[in-house]
């Protein structure tokens, strides 16, 4: 990660002589790849709805993608959202997939109201200069980092307020401000397409406790996870207070195999500054941060809990969400309510 201070227009946030309280690592991607495409495709349904055909069809459709993670959550409207987060390092392959006859047939089939659920797709094309990843250990990988080339670390630029911004290469020259709002690109009855504005900020932040045992497992489940869930529920239910358009606190699963001991929060913030403000000063995030730092440093590299995140700041254009038969609080639709 090149953070050469001599070539920056905007100063690093890292304090002088900074020593991180715990170690962390970042992913390194192939140099000839300039961006990653991220598709979030799912359905919004009642708890007892039979969505097995939808999941099977989506799973079969996604076999050629680089990564496909399935997960589910309860949303602010008391419904459930079950989705796949799909990544491609070849943007053209992703676009061709979305334009394919097979995907068109899938989308048309499940857009019918007869199924009793809504469907959505959120498509983002993210230049690597506008994203960063962070991991609590050097071996595990999650999210888009499942397609990384290598890993870098332990790194210095983390553990302080502003580290997230410092790790994004373009932050050397761009403050990532915005004066724009989400916009309705197209609307036809129960179908709405929403366009993302410049510098929309996305965070996918995960927790994997598969390898935890004994005391470390009890500490995560009884001390860390409850405050994490409270923070995610605040963003889900009251996120407009901090300019968070929507937040899904999701449990991952494998089709045909069941739930994993992995969760992640997937949140859309108006800007990175809004995400930073929530992280630095809001009681719900400070509770998460402080609880973790009360526990993790005593384990150092022996920490069994795997934590990770990926944060991206989008350029305008070619970024959208499409919603059919969904409630107004779904994904980017929720951002229209606060515009």
Catalytic-residue membership of 309: yes
Cβ-contact 13, 163 below 8 angstroms: yes
Structure-token pair, residue 233: 């529920």
DSSP state of 103: H
Query: What does the alpha-carbon distance between residue 282 and residue 248 come to, in Å, rounded to a whole number?
Result: 18
Query: What does the alpha-carbon distance between residue 249 and residue 37 come to, in Å, rounded to a whole number?
Result: 21
Pairing state between β 67-74 and 244-254: antiparallel
3-state secondary structure of 174: coil
Task: Please count the helices (runs of H) and the strands (runs of E) in the chain.
Answer: 9, 14
Alpha helices in 211-331 (DSSP H): 214-219, 225-238, 272-281, 283-295
Query: What does the alpha-carbon distance between residue 195 and residue 186 come to, in Å, rounded to a whole number?
Result: 9
Of the chain, the end-to-end C-alpha distance in Å amounts to 36
Query: What does the alpha-carbon distance between residue 126 and residue 257 come to, in Å, rounded to a whole number?
Result: 31
Query: What does the alpha-carbon distance between residue 52 and residue 71 come to, in Å, rounded to a whole number?
Result: 13
Query: What does the alpha-carbon distance between residue 166 and residue 14 come to, in Å, rounded to a whole number?
Result: 8
* Active-site option among 157, 197, 285, 309: 309
Cβ-contact 249, 232 below 8 angstroms: yes
Listed residue (129, 165, 166, 128) closest to 147, CA to CA: 128
Listed residue (267, 12, 278) closest to 157, CA to CA: 12
Backbone angles phi, psi at 22, to 5 degrees: -140, 155
Output the DSSP codes for 144-155: GGGG-SEEE-S-
Query: What does the alpha-carbon distance between residue 325 and residue 269 come to, in Å, rounded to a whole number?
Result: 24
Give catalytic residue positions.
309
């Amino acid at each position: 990660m090149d953070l050469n201070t001599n070539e920056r227009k905007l100063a690093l946030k890292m304090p002088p002589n900074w020593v991180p309280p715990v170690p962390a690592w970042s992913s390194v991607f192939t140099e000839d790849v300039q961006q990653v495409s991220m598709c979030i495709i799912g359905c919004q349904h009642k708890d007892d709805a039979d969505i097995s055909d939808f999941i099977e069809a989506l799973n079969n459709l996604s076999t050629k993608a680089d990564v496909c993670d399935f997960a589910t959550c309860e949303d602010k409207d008391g419904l459930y959202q079950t989705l796949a987060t799909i990544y491609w390092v070849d943007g053209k392959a992703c676009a061709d997939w979305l334009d394919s006859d097979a995907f068109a047939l899938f989308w048309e089939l499940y857009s019918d109201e007869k199924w009793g659920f809504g469907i959505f797709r959120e498509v983002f094309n993210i230049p690597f200069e506008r994203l960063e990843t962070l991991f609590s250990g050097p071996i595990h990988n999650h999210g888009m980092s499942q397609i990384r080339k290598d890993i870098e670390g332990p790194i210095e630029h983390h553990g302080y307020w502003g580290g997230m911004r410092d790790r994004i290469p373009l932050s050397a020259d761009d403050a990532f401000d915005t004066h724009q709002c989400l916009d309705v690109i197209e609307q036809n009855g129960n179908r709405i397409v929403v366009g993302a504005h410049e510098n929309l900020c996305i965070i996918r932040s995960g927790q994997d406790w598969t390898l935890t045992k004994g005391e470390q497992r009890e500490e995560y489940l009884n001390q860390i996870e409850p405050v994490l869930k409270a923070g995610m529920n605040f963003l889900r239910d009251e996120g407009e207070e901090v300019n968070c358009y929507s937040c899904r606190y999701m449990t991952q699963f494998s089709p045909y195999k069941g739930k994993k001991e992995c969760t992640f929060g997937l949140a859309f913030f108006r800007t990175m500054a809004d995400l930073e403000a929530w992280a630095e000063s809001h009681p719900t995030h400070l509770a998460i941060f402080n609880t973790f730092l009360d526990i993790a440093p005593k384990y150092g590299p022996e920490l069994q809990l795997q934590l990770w995140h990926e944060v991206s700041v989008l350029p305008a254009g070619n970024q959208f969400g499409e919603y059919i038969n969904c409630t107004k609080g779904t994904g980017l639709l929720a951002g229209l309510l606060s515009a």
